[in-house]
A = this chain, B = another copy of it.
Amino acid sequence: MLPESNRLGETQEYYFSKKLREIAELRAQGQDILNLGIGSPDLPPAPEVLEALTASARRPDTHGYQPYVGRPELRAAFARWYATFFGVELDPNRELLPLMGSKEGIMHISMSFLNAGDEVLVPDPGYPTYRSATELAGGVVRSYALSETKGWLPDLDALEAEGLDKVKIMWINYPHMPTGAAAPPEFFYRLVDFARRNRILLVNDNPYAFILTDSVQSILSVPGAREVALELSSLSKAQNMAGWRVGVLAGAEAYLKTVLRFKSNMDSGMFLPVQEAATVALGLGREWYDRLNATYRERREVAFRIMDTLGCSYRRDQVGLFVWAKCPGGIDGYGTCDRALYENQVFITPGGIFGPAGDEYVRISLCSPVPVLEEALSRLGGGARVPEQSPQP
């Protein structure tokens, strides 16, 4: 066999890729595993989105290659969505680049802006792909530790004191995964100022903008942000379209053109019926998001009770698609999760896979219906649910 490239030396197969295979094997052995791991919405998209897909696929002229920049109608829909919900005006022909999921955008940006040895600020804990994309693109990861005591926000003064000459990109992700922290709006101003002063490309990965948040925020709403900031958004979470692979990169035209030079050599435009369905999904009104959040709020209560049963502590004001909690008395999250998987057939995620600062934490996804969460609660030894009121006769 011929050898692999050195850049893969440090890169492992993505954690969930391995773990999902293990779960599939356990299930094949007859074990009934409850998967509370991945943030993959279990609910379907809106019916009108499915209708749009079907109607489009039935047309004979929708099956060919699509423009690398997406259909104008899709870009226009993203622009209206940004204006309506984020309060940000974007030029649909210059400041929005549709992607096949926002995850691929992380690699596109890394490949488009990093030279060998460039440093990249990556949150710890944080989404593991920031780190692997950096390494695969030849960059050097410089973790910035987040801590519960500082509201899971980076300590910008400490970073500046350490020196930032070699830093090219800073990944942020607010609402933050896995901690569920929201950034106060004024912190976005500080971040943009920090990026401008230090000539750093600031990228906000923003897939959780709508989930259980008080308001929908964009880094691009900060005046002057477009000079140094990009934002990734996604239809995976708030539109229940994780498998569909639809995202968008928003920001200044010059940056998007650079990314397009990489992307157009790497993949192609999105399947037109998916684009047409996404266009419909972007037009959904506030009531769609309100209904979705009512469901997640109900589920979160059960997830909190699971955390109580595990003896974990957590903040009730967290946002996003997960509940993040600290194991009791310095216990490491991996052990808690392994016990839950092998003894109780419940898969929850160890915080440590998001970086060492997450070692004492565990994460539960809200992407299972209440009965599944209650079954997990029961398997883990939680008490029966106390009904809030008697059933109506």
Contacts and interface: CB of A to CB of B under 8 A. Distances in A.
Given A63-B241, A245-B268, 18 more contacts: A1-B254, A2-B201, A2-B255, A4-B258, A5-B112, A8-B112, A13-B260, A13-B264, A20-B68, A21-B67, A44-B63, A63-B242, A65-B242, A103-B267, A103-B268, A107-B265, A132-B265, A243-B270
A363 to B, nearest CB: 16
Contacts of A6: 115
A6 B112 CA distance: 8
A229 to B, nearest CB: 10
A163 interface: no
B264 A14 contact: yes
A381 to B, nearest CB: 28
Contacts of A255: 1-2
A1 B229 CA distance: 10
27 contacts: A1-B255, A2-B200, A2-B201, A2-B255, A4-B113, A5-B111, A6-B115, A13-B261, A24-B67, A38-B65, A41-B64, A44-B61, A44-B63, A50-B58, A53-B57, A54-B57, A54-B58, A101-B267, A103-B267, A103-B268, A116-B116, A129-B265, A136-B265, A243-B270, A245-B268, A271-B271, A271-B274
Interface string A255-281: 101101110111111111110000000
Contacts of A241: 63
* Residue with the highest number of chain B CB atoms closer than 10 Å, among A50, A64, A67, A272: A64
Kindly state the interface size class of chain A when it binds its partner: 35 or more
Interface in A72-115: 100-101, 103-104, 107, 111-115
B64 A243 contact: yes
Interface of A: 1-8, 11-14, 17, 20-21, 24, 38, 40-45, 50, 53-54, 57-58, 60-69, 100-101, 103-104, 107, 111-116, 129, 132-133, 136-138, 168, 199-201, 227-228, 236, 240-245, 252, 254-255, 257-258, 260-262, 264-274, 367
Contacts of A1: 227, 252, 254-255
Contacts of A265: 11, 14, 107, 129, 132-133, 136
A199 to B, nearest CB: 6
Contacts of A12: 261
A242 B65 CA distance: 5
Contacts of A24: 67
Given A57-B50, A111-B7, A265-B129, A245 B260 contact: no
Contact of A168 (B2, B114, B236): B2
Contact of A68 (B14, B45, B268, B272): B14
Contacts of A111: 5, 7, 136
